[in-house]
Amino acid sequence: MILKTGKVGLFQLRLKYYSSKKKNHIGRKIKEICKKNKVIFLINDDPFLASKLDADGCHLGQKDMNIKKARKIVGNKIIGITCHNSFSLAKKAVKNGANYLAFGAFYYSKTKKTKYIARLKILQRVKKFTKTPIVAIGGINSKNYKKLLLNNANFLAISSYIWKNKNYKPLQAIEKIK
């Protein structure tokens, strides 16, 4: 996640198809890098691993564990919830104590299949309802990120533009987002 300042403010470890042992091993290394650089470290989909690694929190999709159970595992750490393009999912997440709401995909993404298309209107509507931070997800790059920030996204979750970019190395790609 890149902050409005252009600095990487949060790193989410998202390793869908790795064994628990491998995730734990990689997670320990990433946690140290995040700690050294004062970057928030979250684990995707796995509150148990987040707890084991003493990460700063976890991100939950709609098919993952519910937030109340996750809260019992991670305690008073960050829990973000995927809301796709749904105002009702956002209301439910806020009611259950989510620390941030993630919406998307806003654009075509190479990271995963796009099942839900979010429109800019959802950002504006949710911002009127809650002060809970909003994360925009999906196909974000140096050409489209400003539109999301100007429409009330507090944070940007950027993956393929940084990690699968054919034109720039990761640090160069991040520099283009400033």
What is the torsion angle, in degrees rounded to the nearest 10, for the CA atoms of residue 39, residue 45, residue 51 and residue 55?
0
| Structure confidence at residue 1 (pLDDT) | 55
The residue among 35 and 174 whose pLDDT is bigger is: 35
CB 174 within 8 Å of CB 168 = no
CB 176 within 8 Å of CB 143 = no
- Tell me the per-residue pLDDT of 128-168, one tens digit each, with 9 for 90 and over: 999 999 999 999 999 999 999 999 999 999 988 998 899 99
DSSP-derived letter for residue 133 is: -
- Tell me the per-residue pLDDT of 48-60, one tens digit each, with 9 for 90 and over: 999 999 999 999 9
Residue 136, by phi and psi: left (phi above 0), alpha (psi -120 to 50) or beta?
Answer: beta
Map out the domains of the chain as residue ranges: 10-176
In the CATH hierarchy, which fold is given to the domain comprising 10-176?
A: TIM Barrel (3.20.20)
What is the torsion angle, in degrees rounded to the nearest 10, for the CA atoms of residue 29, residue 33, residue 35 and residue 37?
180
The residue among 174 and 42 whose pLDDT is bigger is: 42
